[in-house]
Amino acid sequence: ILNVEQSPQSLHVQEGDSTNFTCSFPSSNFYALHWYRWETAKSPEALFVMTLNGDEKKKGRISATLNTKEGYSYLYIKGSQPEDSATYLCALNRDDKIIFGKGTRLHILP
Amino acid sequence: DSGVTQTPKHLITATGQRVTLRCSPRSGDLSVYWYQQSLDQGLQFLIQYYNGEERAKGNILERFSAQQFPDLHSELNLSSLELGDSALYFCASSHGPFGDTQYFGPGTRLTVL
């Protein structure tokens, strides 16, 4: 059974602080790793697609890194803002299927 | 607005019935993906079509089927519905066959009574 694990499940962060969370996946047959931001009552919104070992991507205050050999990706948020409150999902894209983690629920405290 | 449209937004039906969910991808996108999100599970990948052909298959039940038409819109057919099929069904689209950014539609909420 292929599992994509995300940790922590839930995180409370003070506004202005930086934070990071992890996505772990089996490294065989890897094709791409997707990160999504999912706000309550909305649809998942793509943040990054990462394909190469050592990839680093950045979008404003959010960045991500990828290590395909050891099977993990980190998502970083710098200077958290209230609008960052959401669930962050990662998904492993193999050639034959897409497997989602259960997400990290981020709460930003004022 | 992602540019992906799904109809209907909500659907309420009875056990044993059959329903069809519809998805129109973003202009220029050739891939359509279907996902299911139930209360007790995360997002589950069901199936992907690329340019009219089935490309990848996930946890799709035999009672469910999908197709992608020449105009690239897609339909997901759910038959012999059971209570456990109640879920939010998302469609997403991307340009290429795999590994591209996926854009999600607003979802169809299916309730089976």
Q: Residue B100: closest CA among chain A residues belongs to which residue?
A: A49
Q: How far from chain centre, in Å, is Cα B89? A: 6
Output A1 or A85, whichever has higher pLDDT: A85
Q: How far from chain centre, in Å, is Cα B42? A: 15
Flag whether residue B2 sits within 8 Å of chain A, measured between CB atoms.
Answer: yes
Mean pLDDT on A70-94: 95
Share of chain B above pLDDT 70, in %: 100
Cβ separation A43–B99 shorter than 8 A: no
Mean pLDDT on B51-72: 95
Confidence band of A13 (pLDDT split at 50, 70, 90):
very high
pLDDT of amino acid B42: 85
In this predicted structure, the answer to whether residue A28 has a pLDDT above a threshold of 80 is no
| SS3 annotation, A35-87 | EEEECCCCCCEEEEEECCCCCEEEECCEEEEEECCCCEEEEEECCCCHHHCEE
pLDDT of amino acid A3: 87
Cβ separation B56–A102 shorter than 8 A: no
Compute the distance between CA of residue A34 and CA of residue A88 in angstroms, rounded to an integer. Answer: 10
Buried b (16+ CB within 10 A) or exposed e, A16-46: eeebebebbbeeeebebbbbbbbeeeebbeb
Cβ separation A95–B56 shorter than 8 A: yes
Confidence band of B40 (pLDDT split at 50, 70, 90):
confident
Burial class (CB in 10 A: 0-12, 13-18, 19+), B21: buried
Distance from CA of B92 to the nearest CA of A (A): 10
pLDDT of amino acid A23: 97
pLDDT of amino acid B24: 98
pLDDT of amino acid A1: 65
- Encoded tokens for B12: 């309420």
Map tokens 């070992």 to a residue. Answer: A53
In this predicted structure, the answer to whether residue A95 has a pLDDT above a threshold of 80 is no
Compute the distance between CA of residue A24 and CA of residue A90 in angstroms, rounded to an integer. Answer: 9
- Residue-wise pLDDT for B91-107, tens only, equals 999 998 888 899 999 99
Compute the distance between CA of residue A47 and CA of residue A68 in angstroms, rounded to an integer. Answer: 18
Compute the distance between CA of residue A24 and CA of residue A1 in angstroms, rounded to an integer. Answer: 14
Mean pLDDT on B27-42: 91
B58 closest CB neighbour out of A49, A98, A101:
A98
Mean pLDDT on B20-36: 97
Mean pLDDT on A18-23: 96
Cβ separation B99–A93 shorter than 8 A: yes
Distance from CA of A23 to the nearest CA of B (A): 15
Long-range CB contacts for residues B25-29, cutoff 8 Å, separation at least 24: B25/B72, B25/B73, B25/B74, B25/B91, B25/B93, B26/B2, B26/B93, B26/B103, B27/B3, B28/B95, B29/B72, B29/B93, B29/B94, B29/B95, B29/B103
For residue B37, the chain A residues in CB contact (below 8 A) are none
Distance from CA of B62 to the nearest CA of A (A): 17
- Residue-wise pLDDT for A42-52, tens only, equals 999 999 999 98
User: Are the C-beta atoms of B16 and B68 separated by less than 8 Å?
Assistant: no
pLDDT of amino acid B111: 97
- Residue type present at position B57: K
In this predicted structure, the answer to whether residue B59 has a pLDDT above a threshold of 80 is yes
In this predicted structure, the answer to whether residue B74 has a pLDDT above a threshold of 80 is yes
Compute the distance between CA of residue B71 and CA of residue A28 in angstroms, rounded to an integer. Answer: 35
